[in-house]
Structure 1
């Protein structure tokens, strides 16, 4: 604390001079004839007014500093899942144990720190705030904790940590207190997410922010070595495959309490008739008590049809929960065959090896046409029949100049692609921009942009142009830009997996100005410098692939014939998908297809009718066929035009259903009910009661969360040690202080300002009144 003066104008000499002048004037200038007691009274009143003016001119101030705790937020997370109804190992359940400990914590913090804001949140499969206040109002929280429901069907320990971090963006966090039994049971939708819930990752992030996590384990202690649990997680809900195509199936196996013991994992097909067949088997050997093993298993798709793919891990006799030992994916396997037309202008090595690769598959009918450059005088050649819609399923354009086809036939080809024919375009000296395709109808079909300034005439390149094209002949290595069925290839060479980086470099590629920005356009292959080398897209109902290279023959010559054959096979099969097959007048979509019974997912039915049908007046009905055979009607309505001709979209929502494998069926209820094929989608309703059946606790996970922040004070406190936790929080708050400087200057506040004013005005007013009364004014 210190006193000081802050004179007006910032100058003490000036202020003192003014004081001297004012005092002199008040004490020297007096009315004539004043003496004795009257003179003393007037001088006293003028002295009081002078004191007020001196205070105003000198402005005395008091400055004091104080160390106070910095403003911060303490997050208290309470477990509100159904497992809180289970025994705590004492004469109470876990909820009562948590309530007693939380109230003890809140009582210890009540009124302790005015700068501390307390946020109480509840969490199960999600986290939400229950109460927020300063420590002075904490007494009101105790009753609200007792009224809180605890019926959550899953537990996600990452949810409260994430919510606390979100709060930390607006206010510093003093710490996070988490009450829980530690059982991390993510619900079905999270299990299939791209990034599964990971509470340890969130705890590490809090530790990096300098925020401690204090965990309070509830329930009886759990010995991890006595707990056995094997489960399958993260299997996609739906898969689409093509007959004969090899696809990677990715999922995770979680093992608890199994160390250095082989565990068998299998994939099984289940067809519509209930027949099963083994797709693949693997054996894993966990080396930790709690371990997640990621698997990617290649399988070959069976004949076309609707299947369930069951990922299953063996069941141990010590397991108490076995319904998580498997997960099911719904698989749509489509026909892989088709008719392919390959047009080539230069008899390169590429065409020879490409024909060899496609010729290995009996379900593909390949037609090869070579259009020599020395026939340029007779261009465009007649391919009207070949380009008619439905004549070929896939058309491959090799190193062929646009003049060989002509604008009229290219327009016909564009229309055929729009109606479902697939198009694959290869690189070369006379293709894309150099082949003059930039100003043709095909330019709008391709998923890449072209530049007509690079157009070259048909025929051999002259020496000048050959020099310009040298940039196309620089070796380029390829790498996947994104995961896709075309580029997901599993081939073993000398007991090791062949990667894209292992392939020989392309001798040259066709550069594109840019990739077209449109729905469905994807870059699948690129150079290390992110130059696009393979781009796919859609045009109308057809699929289009643009390849900047034309030398996949180097793969086969390098002894990688299996990789070369698989690439072309999967590219052709992708081209033959026909997702918008006109023969399917009803298409049904349901997402998710694996959910718990309390969820009610929505579905849509797309009604596609030809122009001559009476589809606009069609009425659809929906029903769920239970696993038992019972049929439940489902409301469906809200038909809306999709924007396409003769296409309407209906929507509905599933009711609550019992656990099991059921089917959703949509059909016509009109006169065309027999001619219109119904649409069906299979789905699974999960019995997610593991919160009540998993009686074991997982205190080791809570310990790991606290240990992740041990560097900043995180640790585990038993319920009976809550008093020690209160002392820890109080101690950390005293260490986290900030210096507060307060200054009180006379006249700044309304009280001192009015006092000075009343002193000055009152003294002069009384002095004037007395002079009037005494006849001295």
Structure 2
């Protein structure tokens, strides 16, 4: 039971205050005039004003409420190291027993694991959510069982009671950690790129460990290279990328005996390999309407260095003009086809015919250039079937087709073959057709395929676009010079630039246009695995090897002809190896060392400021489990071997009764009695007169 005095005024409070002021003035005047009953007059006026204020006695019947203590248990990945799980279990059991022994005190237990998207331990967020579910007036304290690696300390809630931390871990723990401090997102193929890494030994490092550590660096599935890295110092490591597209670099240092974890002994860096400048040699045998198609395509790419020659004056042209009066530039055949041929990434022969400008030995150099990894594209016209065709040169040994000397002069619509629907050069091209289909072409050279893949056909399904791999290089033949009609929009046109762009990039060995490719992308921990193939039979399952060595076999579903994919939820972050037949791929899901293992040693440094601000304490479980006591509000709530909670004294009102302090007639009688007493006193003594 509790009682309190409240007021239920009979008139408005402003009027009561005004009457109070008037009463004070009247009493003051009486005192100034020397009236002996001034005090009795004041009491009478005070009783009248009190009666108007309506004092009421309020009586509450309350049921006391128990205090609440919140226990946040850190069950993140770093809490599973060493004997921390056992320490945590013992601490939770001790707190449960101690709180149960306190009078009128309840315990709320909240567990927190790894945060989403590698956010770390969000213990303060969990504490705030637990506080929001309880009445603030009943919170007597909060206890956090953790290793101290809490990553949302900036979100510490405003707790009206002490906050304590029971710290797991041991003073003898130590850890070796590898960190990549600087790594570019892009690197130029064939050029050295430098990365900065660091190896640190932290904690109670045992004597005998050297000042250097061996670090292995592996690019994709290539054999690793080993470097000696000084411990505690930054080191620049040179790395050279070997292929375009995404390169996965894995850095690792061998685990040391006794360290608390090796999860932070490795790191992953993904660098996109790009070409510096693509050097393309375009040789046009004669001016024609489609010549500018190739020039516009290659000049539109800022990363392409184009060298273009058009033969305007063949040797057989004799018009009597002296050579020293010609303004034409001499064709530097020896420089291009002997001295610098290997500097070009792509050579295009555009309607070129044998006119004695390039000796046979130079064309043999081109054939050898292809076998050694170069690329050649032949965009042919009627000359390809003539007597001076490139087919009748040493270049024929790398060409995938044989001309029949017949030139087909009729309208036709190019068509993509069944193989072309699966090949990355022509895959999905028909989806880019304008309404009514592609426009027609009107000329092509009849050729017979010898090897390679036929991607497009012309009239009567004759080969129109044929590609092939020769040795380490690639060759393509386009048996028509009318692709420019698509670019001009004739009869609706077609995807001219897209076709030629894909063809050029396939010849330049861009990774996204490989016929047989196994790729993977990670969105959070969802791994999307894609397989591209030109085979008719679907590929078998893909084998995924996780960072812990676990192997999973996944079946892939067909999306489009030649493309298969599957989405898979990776169970943990780290490096995954994909295998399917002869294809392998390495992909990183999140960082190699999660945020939980960036600092694996237990430390109070992050939590100490918040604990001190709330009069709590940080106690190491290694030193013993604490007692729990009740302490008064505002007093120190932690000491050697004990922590304190503050009783809140909260209660629930079950019944409420209200009664006037005095009946109204009592107030009037009392006021009248004091007024009469004042009159009698002043009447007997007389009223003093002022001189």
Report if TM-score (shorter chain) is over 0.5: no
Q: TM class by shorter-chain length?
A: 0.3 to 0.5
- Tell which structure's C-alpha radius of gyration is larger: 2
Give the TM-score normalised by structure 1: 0.38
Give the TM-score normalised by structure 2: 0.42
